[in-house]
């Protein structure tokens, strides 16, 4: 417990650094929001007034969220790499505070994207939510796993050529279980009646915990290499 308490201020310092850097440039936020708005507008104009099944609505929501996230989350280590301060951060920043500080930053970005996307999605596609509390838990759990995995992969691909395209290609198979669980659960949210089972939500929570544990272990080797 004392070790964890000593790490928390360092995590907070990394998070504050990321937020201040983003406030100055606004690159990641702009990429996330503009990509989601553009994609949702194209989908809405293409579909028009056609009736869409709840399952297809759930697929649309998470596909838009996924590709919008890919447009901005890969930048979490990019600023240090481009400015050359990555070596200073490696020298003075311990692995776990850096990982979880940047994870919290990506997690906040994803939640901001979700808050921006969801109301527009409901209005543009004329969608009704029957279980808002469940949707909140689904988005929270989905964003947790996506934020941790994308943070780890961004550190792995920091020096790769064509990082943006490669980041999406590598992220998709790892994030696929999260997307499938989230789509299945979100379909229930768009249907009236009671919820029969929350087993996929439990599986999603376990998958998030496993990914957090694996990422924490692997990042020690990545950061010290």
H or E element at residue 68: helix 54-70
H or E element at residue 140: helix 132-156
How many residues does the structure list for the chain?
225
Mention every residue, 6+ apart, whose C-beta is less than 8 A from residue 106: 73, 76, 146, 147, 150, 151
Query: Encoding tokens for residue 30?
Result: 């702009």
Indicate the pTM of the whole model: 0.88
Spatial contact of 131 and 188, defined as CB atoms under 8 Å apart? yes
Residue 1: the pLDDT is 43
What is d(CA 79, CA 85) in angstroms, rounded to the nearest whole number?
8
28-74 pLDDT tens trace: 788 888 888 888 888 888 887 778 888 899 999 999 999 888 887 77
85-108 pLDDT tens trace: 666 777 667 888 888 988 999 999
Q: What is the mean pLDDT of residues 10-26?
A: 81
**φ, ψ (nearest 5 deg) of residue 208:** -60, -45
Q: Scan for tokens 């020096």, then name that residue.
A: 159
Spatial contact of 68 and 128, defined as CB atoms under 8 Å apart? no
Band the pLDDT of 6: cuts 50, 70, 90: low
Could you tell me the CA-to-CA distances from 31 to 34, 69, 220 in Å, in that order?
Answer: 5, 9, 29
193-208 pLDDT tens trace: 777 767 888 888 999 9
Query: Encoding tokens for residue 108?
Result: 């906040």
| Residue 92 CB burial class (10 angstroms; 0-12, 13-18, ≥19) | exposed
Mention every residue, 6+ apart, whose C-beta is less than 8 A from residue 19: 105, 108
- Whether residue 3 is predicted with pLDDT greater than 50 in this model: the reply is no
Q: Dihedral, CA atoms, 113, 114, 116, 122, nearest 10 degrees?
A: 150
Band the pLDDT of 2: cuts 50, 70, 90: very low
125-164 pLDDT tens trace: 888 888 888 899 999 999 999 999 998 888 887 766 556 6
The domain spans of the chain are: 2-224
Residue 206: the pLDDT is 92
């Amino acid at each position: 417990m004392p070790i964890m308490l000593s790490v928390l201020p360092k995590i907070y310092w990394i998070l504050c650094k990321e937020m201040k850097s983003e406030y100055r440039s606004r690159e990641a936020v702009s990429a996330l929001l503009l990509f989601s708005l553009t994609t949702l507008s194209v989908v809405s104009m293409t579909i028009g007034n056609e009736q869409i099944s709840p399952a297809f609505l759930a697929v649309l929501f998470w596909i838009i969220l996924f590709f919008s996230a890919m447009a901005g989350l890969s930048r979490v280590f990019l600023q240090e790499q481009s400015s050359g301060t990555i070596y200073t951060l490696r020298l003075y920043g311990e692995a776990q505070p850096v990982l979880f500080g940047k994870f919290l930053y990506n997690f906040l970005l994803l939640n901001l994207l979700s808050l921006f996307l969801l109301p527009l999605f409901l209005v543009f596609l004329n969608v009704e939510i029957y279980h808002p509390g469940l949707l909140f838990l689904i988005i929270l759990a989905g964003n947790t796993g996506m934020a941790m995995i994308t943070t780890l992969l961004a550190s792995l691909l920091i020096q790769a050529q064509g990082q943006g395209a490669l980041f999406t290609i590598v992220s998709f198979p790892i994030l696929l279980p999260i997307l499938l669980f989230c789509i299945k659960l979100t379909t229930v949210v768009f249907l009236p009646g009671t919820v029969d089972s929350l087993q996929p939500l439990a599986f999603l929570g376990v998958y998030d915990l496993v990914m957090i544990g694996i990422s924490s272990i692997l990042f020690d080797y990545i950061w010290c290499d």
